[in-house]
Amino acid sequence: MKFKIALASATILAASMFSTASAADLTIGFSQIGSESGWRAAETTLTKQQAEKRGIDLKFADAQQKQENQIKALRSFIAQDVDAILIAPVVATGWDEVLQEAKDAEIPVILLDRTVDASKDLYLTAVTSDLVHEGNVAGKWLVDTVAGKPCNVVELQGTTGSSPAIDRKKGFEEALAGKDNLKIIRSQTGDFTRTKGKEVMESFLKAEDGGKNICALYAHNDDMAVGAIQAIKEAGLKPGTDILVVSIDAVPDIFQAMAAGEANATVELTPNMAGPALDALDAFLKDGKEPPKWIQTESKLYTQADDPQKVYEEKKGLGY
Amino acid sequence: MSTTLKAYAVRLFPQVAALAVILLMVSIAFPGFFKLEMQNGRLYGSLIDILNRGAPVALLAIGMTVVIATKGIDLSVGAVMAICGAVAAAAITSGHSLAMTLLITLGTGILCGLWNGILVAVLDIQPIIATLVLMVAGRGIAQLITEGAILTFNDAGLIFIGSGALFGLPMPVVIWLAFGLLVALLVRRTALGMLIEALGVNRRASMLSGVSTGVLLIAAYVLSGLCAALAGIIAAADIRGADANNAGLWLELDAILAVVVGGTSLLGGRFSIAASLIGALIIQSVNTGILLSGFPPEFNLIIKAAIIVLILVIQSPRAQSAFVFLSRARAPVKKTAGEAK
């Protein structure tokens, strides 16, 4: 009985705490993985911007790619009694204990960009993109663009065995399934880097009759596409016309290539994960509305028709 | 003269044979492999790709050979590549001239080498530990310079180093051939090579014989740093940007492998820069061959490992003595016959 009363009072206390907190005076802790890539830097910038826009006091902790630093950061957020915690977890496992501590302290936790292997009731929601869907959007664009004409596709995969490489390949293949005019003739890993993207594309071009046999390139990220575009140019072909180029991520440099007519389309992996996360948090704190356990971000398709130069200018300052 | 030529031929035979076999194997898997043509005033073909893509590892292997000959090892070269690529990109985008940019970048490489050399020669720290420091810290330094992003540039001069052509050959090829020749002449046409070998075999004995081992050791690491700087400039110029996260990643291991495949012992002593360069080409031929053959990427590393193991087994002293033993039809084997060197 005593326990029940304690629990009830705790709930009331928590509810009153939440209801009195308007968005303006929220304090939120954000544990970021570190600066592993340009995209990560852009995510950090946008999270700070989103917090500032909503008048949230954001406490930022950079974990420098180490889980123990993230756990430390979470414990310090809990000790400071923040109103909510955003975390981009560096690995999937080993979070149960610290998430339980946050739950015990009645602090909602939202996962950004990556998920964890922990019980779903330990966090409020996870905001991530759907990697398979991204590959699918890229594939659909290609199917629509070639419109029934025969087309040989070469694929630059991400790092072998990584989940973006597996899922983006899967989604693309699903979009191409049943379309007999489209055939993936070569598929190799470019390790998500420009150098390897260029090197592998060079070998594709040599292997396929100087590139005359290739009609489109699908790269699992923009960096590999940027490298491949240089290889296509050096082989004396026109990227974007002789060989169609579609890739994923939407980093600023690919918009420059699109503005120059050298790339055709990219699917955005939005760095604005904080926007949907804070919207969901707001609804939860104000009205107690439980968000779904997974919020999928939009995988927007950009083509040359979307004023790439303007998008480039917008994205340039985000720290990519 | 003919005896030295013959000595060279004997020394380089296993490497050249391995390279020839690999090229042959690739040409079976991919028939158009040996096709060469002129395009835009430069040679174009898969063989040129091997020379061109092998440039960073070939350059690193030059410095690594000398360092390994001193019984050392330089694990930092990949990270130094990243630092130097970042420095080059930062210098050119902040408005320095091409000459100034190259000077600053090569200077940075020399400085990195000097740091390693002092740790090893003056503080007497084991080379593997001493260079590990920069290997770990270097990538962080490079990220600080590029602020975590890929720093792109559009300077025609710097781009020319990565993708231009001279005498019909891509610039990176010209650079590593010229630099390799220069260093090989420097160590073989002077007493330097012999002094380095002496230092590698027995540092104390060579010091007592009057060799200034400290200076020589530092010079070896400085050379390695310089090679890494050249490789870093090429890698950055090739993609028109400095990628601090990925430039030169794991290339220190490829460079060490090139030296080992080239038959230079990790225990120091006798070395051959030419053999290491052929070693670098062997590694790149395997890489390019895998890409051309169209195997699924899951097999890349397995195929590479299998070929490398095969080469090392064939080159091993035991295998060679067994080979001599069998070819002489059970005639008594001389003890020295099996030495790989």
pLDDT by residue, tens only, chain A of 320 residues = 455 555 555 554 444 444 444 455 789 999 998 876 778 888 999 999 999 999 999 999 998 888 999 999 999 999 999 999 999 998 888 999 999 999 999 999 999 998 888 888 999 999 999 999 999 999 999 999 999 999 999 999 999 888 889 999 999 999 999 999 999 999 999 999 999 999 999 999 999 988 999 999 999 999 999 999 999 999 999 999 999 999 999 999 999 999 999 999 999 999 999 999 999 999 998 888 889 999 999 999 999 999 999 999 888 888 77
Supply the pLDDT for residue A13.
Answer: 47
Contact B238 A200 (CB under 8 A): no
Question: Which among B32, B147, B243 has the least Cβ separation from residue A194?
Answer: B243
- Going by pLDDT thresholds of 50, 70 and 90, the confidence category of residue B328 is confident
Q: What fold characterizes domain A131-269+304-316?
A: Rossmann fold (3.40.50)
CA distance B258 to chain A (A): 19
Supply the pLDDT for residue A4.
Answer: 54
Contact A230 B247 (CB under 8 A): no
ipTM of this complex prediction, to 2 decimal places: 0.86
Contact B300 A320 (CB under 8 A): no
Question: Which among A161, A207, A320 has the least Cβ separation from residue B292?
Answer: A207
CA distance A260 to chain B (A): 14
Percent of chain B topping pLDDT 90: 69
Supply the pLDDT for residue B295.
Answer: 86
Residue B46 confidence (pLDDT) above 60: yes
Where residue B155 sits, what CATH number does that domain have? Answer: 1.10.3470
Contact A187 B297 (CB under 8 A): yes
Which residues on A lie below 8 Å from B244 (Cβ)?
none
Closest CA in chain B for residue A253: B152
Residue B97 confidence (pLDDT) above 90: yes
Residue B334 confidence (pLDDT) above 70: no
Domains A2-128+271-289 and A131-269+304-316 share a fold: yes
Closest C-alpha to A36, from A83, A72, A89:
A89
Per-chain mean pLDDT for chain B: 91
Which residues on A lie below 8 Å from B294 (Cβ)?
186, 207
Which residues on B lie below 8 Å from A230 (Cβ)?
163, 239-240
Model confidence over B121-156: pLDDT tens digits? 999 999 999 999 999 999 999 989 988 778 999 999
Classify residue B20: in a domain, yes or no: no
Which residues on A lie below 8 Å from B237 (Cβ)?
none
Contact A193 B243 (CB under 8 A): yes
For domain A2-128+271-289, which architecture applies?
Answer: 3-Layer(aba) Sandwich (3.40)
Question: Which among A40, A189, A235 has the least Cβ separation from residue B300?
Answer: A189
Q: What is the mean pLDDT of residues B181-192?
A: 95
Q: What is the mean pLDDT of residues B71-99?
A: 96
Structural domains in chain B (count): 1
Classify residue B197: in a domain, yes or no: yes
Supply the pLDDT for residue A19.
Answer: 43
Supply the pLDDT for residue A1.
Answer: 47
Dihedral of CA atoms B279, B283, B286, B291 in degrees, nearest 10, equals: -150
Q: Which of A59-68, B220-229, B314-323 has the lowest mean pLDDT?
A: B314-323
Classify residue B320: in a domain, yes or no: no
Residues of B at the A interface, defined by Cβ within 8 angstroms: 30, 32, 39-40, 44-46, 49, 53, 143, 147-150, 152, 163, 235, 238-241, 243, 245-247, 287-288, 291-292, 294, 296-298, 300
Classify residue B337: in a domain, yes or no: no
Classify residue B91: in a domain, yes or no: yes
Contact B235 A157 (CB under 8 A): no
CA distance B297 to chain A (A): 5
The residue range of the domain holding B63 is: 41-314
- Going by pLDDT thresholds of 50, 70 and 90, the confidence category of residue B340 is very low
Question: Which among A36, A186, A203 has the least Cβ separation from residue B49?
Answer: A203
Residue B338 confidence (pLDDT) above 50: no
The residue of A206, A212, A226, A253 whose CB has the most chain B CBs within 10 angstroms, and thus the best one to mutate to test that interface, is A206
Closest CA in chain A for residue B297: A188
Contact A230 B300 (CB under 8 A): no
- Mark which residues 230-259 of A lie under 8 Å from B by CB: 230, 234-236, 253
Hey, where are the domains in chain A?
A: 2-128+271-289, 131-269+304-316
Which residues on B lie below 8 Å from A212 (Cβ)?
none
